[in-house]
Amino acid sequence: MQEQDLSKNNFEQCIKCTICTAYCPVVQVNPSYPGPKQAGPDGERFRLRNPFFYDENLKYCMNCKRCENACPSGVRIADIIHTARMNYSHSKPTLRDWILANTDFMGKVARPVAPIVNAVVGTKPAKAAMDAVLGVDRHRTFPKYRFSGFEGWLRRKAPDQSKFARQVAFFHGCSTEYQHPEVGRAFVRVMNALGYGVQLIDEQCCGVAMISNGLWNQARSHARHNVEAFRKTDLPIVTTASTCTFTMRDEYQEILGVDVSVVRDRIVLVEKFIYSLLDQGRVRLAFREDFKARVAYHIPCHMEKLGWSIFTRELLGMIPGLELTVLDSGCCGMAGTYGFKKENYAYSQEIGRPLFERIKLLDPDYVTSECDTCKWQIEMSTGVEVRNPILLLEEALDLEKTAELNR
Amino acid sequence: MRYDTIIVGGGLAGLVCGLRLQQSGKKTAIVSAGQNAMHFSSGAFGLLSRLEDGTPVDEPLTAIDRLSGEHPYSKIGSERMSVLVREVKPFFEAAGIPLTGDESRNSYIITPTGNYKKVWLALDDMTLLGGSDSKIGDKILIVNFKGYLDFNTAFIAEGLEKRGMKCRIESVELPEMERLRSNSTEMRSVNIARVLDGGDAWKHFVASVNRMITDEDTVILPAVFGFADGSLIRSIREGVRVKTVFIGTMPPSVPGIRSQMRLKKAYELSGGTILLGDQANSPVFDGDRLVSLGTVNMEEVRLEADNFVIATGSFFSRGLWATPEKVLEPLLGLDVISSESRDGWYDEDFFSPQGYIGFGVRTDNGFHPMRGGRPMENVFAIGSLLGGCNSVKMGCGAGVAIMTALEVANTISSSR
C-alpha cells in the first residue's frame, strides 16, 4: 500500500474517525491527555508547521499501542506521539526518571546488597522518602532484587549447553537477570528438553524504559549495541518478555531510527518459537499427568501489538489439567515505569481496575502473562500470583519424557 | 495452524459469519486489520430501500425477484431470503444486541441531519417511524451537551419543523463534562458516553433535562448513552418525564461500537479466535483451491483451513484497491466487477449514485469468488467486498453483509 503513497507522512492516512480514541485506556481516566488522535496525527500537522504546538501532556501516552491495533487506516499513532516527544519536548528526564529507566544499571548496583535494598525499599519511611524526594509513588511494591542472577546460574549450575545439537541465543532481559531468574532457568530446562542448547549473548537492556522516560540517546546506544550483538550470530534470538521483544523488533526502527532489518525476523518470543517448531513437526511435547491448575491469561498490550497471544493460548491449551480463561483484553495500567510515577499512580490503578475486578472474581490459582511489569501490577493490585507462561510450561511438561522424544 | 474456516475481515459480515459457524460447531479464526464500519453505524440496518432503477421499496422481501441477477440477494433467492430474514432478530438478540422493527416492512429513522431515511431493523436505542412524514410528537425539545459539535440540533429542528413539529433547542452544561470541554477536539461521542457511563453524571443530566421541559411532549437526545452497557438507555427513558427519542450523531457511533463489542464478545465466548491488528497475506493456491494464508504478525506460521471466507470490505478497509487504471482485490487477486473506463467510476455530482460503490468481487451463485474467470472451490466472498449492488443507492449495505454471512455460514456448516 505504502508504495502508492506520495507522502512519507503516515499521519496523512488518518481520516479523523476517532476510533483510536474509543480504545485508548488513558483518555478514559486522565482528562489532561489529549487522546491519540489529537496527540498523534492531528497534532502532528500543527507541530510540523510550528513546534510551538507541541503539548507536554503527550507524556501521558503509555505506548500501549491499542490505538494502532484499532486504526482502520494503518496510522502509526503511538509512533507519531513518541517521535514528537523525542523531537519537541522541552522537559528533561528527572533523577527519578533516570533511575527508573536504567533497569540494568540499578540491578547491578543493587545486587551485591540485595537483601538490604529489598528490606529498605519495602519500609514505610523509605517509601515515603522516595515518594516525597523522587516522585515514586508510595503505594508501589518494588520487585525484589536477587543476590545471584540468571547468567551466573547458567554458567555454574546448568548442564553443558554446547552438547546440544541445536542452539538458540537467549535474550533474557533485565528482570530475568535481576529479579526473576527462575524464568530464565525454566526457559533453559524447557529448551534443553526440546533438544536445544541455550547461549548467552552480549546483551544490554532493550531500552524500553529509556524510550518512555525520554533518554533517547542512551536508548539508541543500547539499540545499536544489541543489534550489533545479534548480527554476530546466526542463531534465533529467543526471549521470554513480550515488551523487550516488541521494542527490539519495532521500536528500534520506528522510534529510534536504528536499522534492525537484518536481525528482526530472528527475534522471537519463546511461545511463538516453540509453537512454530511444533507446527512444523520438528519437536514433540510430553506432559505430566498430575498437573492441575486454574489459570487466567492476561494478554499484555505489547503482546496484542505483536499479535502473538494466539501462540501462548494454543500452547497452554495443549496442557492437560490446565483450565484456561483468557481475560478480556485490557491494559493493566502499569506500562513499565509509568505506574511507578506519583503523577500517574491513580490513573494507572483506574485503568487496570476492570482487569483486577475480573481476576478477583475468577480467583484463579495463577494469572499468566508474558510481561513482568504487568506481573508486578497485577500481583500488587489483586494478590494473585502471576507467572510467566514458560514457568507453567516447565511445570506441566514431563521434561525427561520430552527430552527422550526430541533426542 | 489449522482451523475449519478462516475468515479474513472482522466487520459485521465477518463476525456474523464467524459466530454462526462457531454455533454450528466449527473451529474458526478471524483475521482483522483494524476496526470496522460498525463504528460509523447509523444505529440501523438497511435491507433494501430502492431497486436498481431507483424505485422505492417498502416491503423488501417482495422485491427480491425484481433485482438483477448480480445482486447478492438474487443469488440467495427470495425463498431462502425470507427464511434468513426471520433469523436476524433472534441471532442478534442472543449476541446481546436487541433489534427493533418489522422484518417484513421498511421503517424510517431520523438522521443526524434531520432527514428521514428508510431503514429495516434498528438497534433498540433508536426510534423507528412508520412513514416519511410521521411525527414523533407535536412539541419537541432537542437537548445537546454544551460544546458537542457532532450533533447538529439546528439541522434536526429544521427537518422536524418541515413535518409540522414545533422544536425548541437547549443545551446542558454538566460539571462532569467540563473536563472534556477543556479540550474541544475530545468533546466527542465516545468520551461523552464514558463520562455518562460512570457515576451519577447521567442522573444530573436527566434532572437538567426535566427542568428544561416546559410544554413539550417529546425530548430528542444524541445517541451517546451506554457505551459499555446499553441498560443506561432504559434508565434515561424512564428518568426523562416525557417520551425520549435518541438520534444518531456524527461518527464514531456509540450504539455501533457497543454492538460491535457485543458481537465480538459473543464470537469469542463461542470459542472463536480473533487476530486483531493483523493482516492476511501470501496466499498459497492449489488449482482452484486456497490452501493457506500467511499474516504479517504470524510470519512463518501459516493459517490452513478447509474453507476461507473473505470479508475484507470495500475501499475504505482496503478489501478493494484502486490504482489510477483499475480496481483490484489485493489479497487473492480475485476478479472484480468494475467499469472499464474511469469515467464510469464516479459522477461529478456528489449526490448522484457513484459507480465505484457498486464495484466489487465477482462470484458464482454460491458466493465462490471468481479468479481468472473460474470460481474458487473453497473460498467464499461476503459483505461489502461483493460487487453487483450499489449499497448506498439501494440501502442494502448491512443487509448484504448479514444475509451473505448467514447464507455462506449455512453452506459451509452443511457441507460434509
pLDDT in tens, B280-328: 999 999 999 999 999 999 999 999 999 999 999 999 889 999 998 899 9
Please report the pLDDT score of residue A269 as a whole number.
Answer: 98
Please report the pLDDT score of residue A3 as a whole number.
Answer: 46
Closest residue, chain B, to A311 (C-alpha): B298
Mean pLDDT of chain B: 94
Q: Which residues of chain B are within 8 Å of residue A37 when distances are taken between CB atoms?
A: 185
Per residue in A205-245, pLDDT (tens digit) is 999 999 989 999 999 999 999 999 999 999 999 999 999 99
Q: How far apart are CA A273 and CA B302, in angstroms?
A: 14
Q: How far apart are CA B22 and CA B4, in angstroms?
A: 10
Per residue in B173-212, pLDDT (tens digit) is 988 888 777 766 678 898 899 888 878 899 999 999 999 9
Q: Is residue B267 scored above 60 in pLDDT? A: yes
Q: Is residue A4 scored above 60 in pLDDT? A: no
- Amino acid B59 reads E
> What mean pLDDT comes out for the span B317-344?
92
Min CA distance, B233 vs chain A (Å)? 19
Q: Which residues of chain A are within 8 Å of residue B295 when distances are taken between CB atoms?
A: 307
SS3 state at B338? coil
Band the pLDDT of A335: cuts 50, 70, 90: confident
CB A400 within 8 A of CB A391: no
Strand partners, A350: none
Q: Which of B36, B277, B298 sits opposite A68 (nearest CB)?
A: B277
Per residue in B110-129, pLDDT (tens digit) is 999 999 999 999 999 899 99
DSSP B378: S
Query: What is the β-pairing status of strands B218-222 and B139-145?
Result: parallel
CB B390 within 8 A of CB B4: no
DSSP for A343-355 reads TTHHHHHHHHHHH
Q: Which of A124-138, A326-340, B242-256, B378-392 has the lowest mean pLDDT?
A: A124-138
Q: Which helix (H) or strand (E) holds A380?
A: helix A372-382
Instruction: Say yes or no for a CB contact (<8 Å) between B298 and A68.
Output: no
Q: Is residue A341 scored above 60 in pLDDT? A: yes
Cβ partners under 8 Å of residue A214, min gap 6: A85, A86, A89, A91, A92, A93, A97
Instruction: Say yes or no for a CB contact (<8 Å) between B39 and A17.
Output: yes
User: What backbone phi and psi angles, to 5 degrees, belong to B244?
Assistant: -115, 130
pLDDT-above-70 percentage for chain A = 98
Q: Which residues of chain B are within 8 Å of residue A27 when distances are taken between CB atoms?
A: 186, 191
Please report the pLDDT score of residue A9 as a whole number.
Answer: 76
Min CA distance, B276 vs chain A (Å)? 7
- Whether the CB of A72 is below 8 Å from some CB of chain B: the reply is yes
- Whether the CB of B318 is below 8 Å from some CB of chain A: the reply is yes
Torsion sign over Cα B59, B61, B62, B63 = positive
Q: Is residue A2 scored above 70 in pLDDT? A: no
Q: How far apart are CA A77 and CA A42, in angstroms?
A: 10
Which ranges of B150-213 would DSSP assign to H, the alpha helix?
A: 153-162, 175-181, 189-197, 201-212
Q: Is residue A133 scored above 90 in pLDDT? A: no
Instruction: Give the angle subtended at the CA of B65 by the CAs of B62 and B69, to the nearest 5°.
Output: 145
Tally C-beta pairs within 8 A across A and B: 97
DSSP for A83-152 reads HHHHHH--PPP-HHHHHHH-HHHHHHHHGGGHHHHHHHHTSHHHHHHIIIII-B-TTPPPPPP-SS-HHH
Q: Which of A354, A169, A173 is nearest to A247 (CA)?
A: A173
pLDDT-above-70 percentage for chain B = 99
Q: Which of A5-19, A358-372, B265-279 has the lowest mean pLDDT?
A: A5-19
Q: Which residues of chain B are within 8 Å of residue A23 when distances are taken between CB atoms?
A: 35
- Whether the CB of B125 is below 8 Å from some CB of chain A: the reply is no
The residues in A 91-150 lying below 8 A from B, measured between CB atoms, are: none
Q: Which of B35, B191, B295 sits opposite A27 (nearest CB)?
A: B191
Please report the pLDDT score of residue B184 as a whole number.
Answer: 66
Torsion sign over Cα A348, A350, A351, A353 = positive
Band the pLDDT of A7: cuts 50, 70, 90: low
DSSP B301: P
Distances, alpha carbon B94 to alpha carbons B23, B97, B323, B411, in Å? 11, 7, 42, 21
Q: How far apart are CA B229 and CA B226, in angstroms?
A: 5
Q: Which of B147, B144, B152, B145 is nearest to B115 (CA)?
A: B152
Band the pLDDT of A127: cuts 50, 70, 90: confident
Q: How far apart are CA A132 and CA A313, in angstroms?
A: 42
Per residue in B24-77, pLDDT (tens digit) is 999 999 999 988 888 999 899 999 999 999 999 999 999 999 999 999 999 999
- The CA-to-CA distance between both ends of chain B, in Å, stands at 21
Q: Which of B273, B297, B321 sits opposite A308 (nearest CB)?
A: B297
The residues in A 289-318 lying below 8 A from B, measured between CB atoms, are: 304-308, 310-311, 313-314
Min CA distance, A350 vs chain B (Å)? 12
Instruction: Say yes or no for a CB contact (<8 Å) between B191 and A73.
Output: no
Q: How far apart are CA B413 and CA A209, in angstroms?
A: 49
> What mean pLDDT comes out for the span A17-29?
89
- Whether the CB of B178 is below 8 Å from some CB of chain A: the reply is no
Say how far residue A261 (Cα) sits from the centre of its chain: 21
Instruction: Give the angle subtended at the CA of B341 by the CAs of B338 and B344, to the nearest 5°.
Output: 65
Per residue in B1-27, pLDDT (tens digit) is 999 999 999 999 999 999 999 999 999
- Whether the CB of A68 is below 8 Å from some CB of chain B: the reply is yes
Residue labelled with grid coordinates 427542568 = B211
Q: How far apart are CA A331 and CA A65, in angstroms?
A: 10
- Whether the CB of B277 is below 8 Å from some CB of chain A: the reply is yes
Min CA distance, A45 vs chain B (Å)? 14
Instruction: Say yes or no for a CB contact (<8 Å) between A23 and B35.
Output: yes
Q: What is this structure's pTM?
A: 0.93
What's the residue count for chain A?
Answer: 407
- Whether the CB of A325 is below 8 Å from some CB of chain B: the reply is no
Mean pLDDT of chain A: 91
Per residue in B75-88, pLDDT (tens digit) is 999 999 999 999 99
ipTM confidence: 0.90
